[in-house]
């Protein structure tokens, strides 16, 4: 989770990585949230987890872990 936070923080510092299409228009977002796959060890199934950017790595790791496990 810490790695995902670090990569997202670096990516958000690059303007070109924050452009998206919205209703056919190009939009520059202030920041982009994370989206990653997570392997549930009990079911052995992958799932996609979306987590908003947090202020600190500690907050992100805690929130992302809880979100992924639920």
pLDDT in tens, 20-40: 999 999 999 999 999 999 998
CB–CB of 12/18 below 8 Å? yes
Q: What tokens does 8 get?
A: 């997202």
The span from the CA of 34 to the CA of 22, in Å, is: 18
For the chain, percent of residues with pLDDT exceeding 90: 91
Q: What is the pTM of this model?
A: 0.81
Binned at pLDDT 50, 70 and 90, residue 41 comes out as confident
The span from the CA of 62 to the CA of 70, in Å, is: 12
Range of the domain at 10: 2-69
DSSP one-letter code for 23: T
Residue 13 confidence (pLDDT) = 96
Q: How many domains does the chain have?
A: 1
For residue 60, give the H/E element and its range: helix 57-69
Residue 62 confidence (pLDDT) = 97
């Amino acid at each position: 989770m810490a790695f995902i936070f670090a990569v997202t923080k670096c990516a958000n510092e690059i303007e070109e990585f924050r452009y998206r299409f919205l209703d056919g228009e190009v939009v520059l977002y202030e920041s982009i949230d994370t989206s990653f796959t997570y392997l549930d060890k009990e079911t052995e199934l992958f799932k996609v987890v979306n987590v908003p950017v947090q202020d600190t790595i500690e907050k992100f790791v805690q929130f992302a872990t809880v979100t992924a496990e639920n």
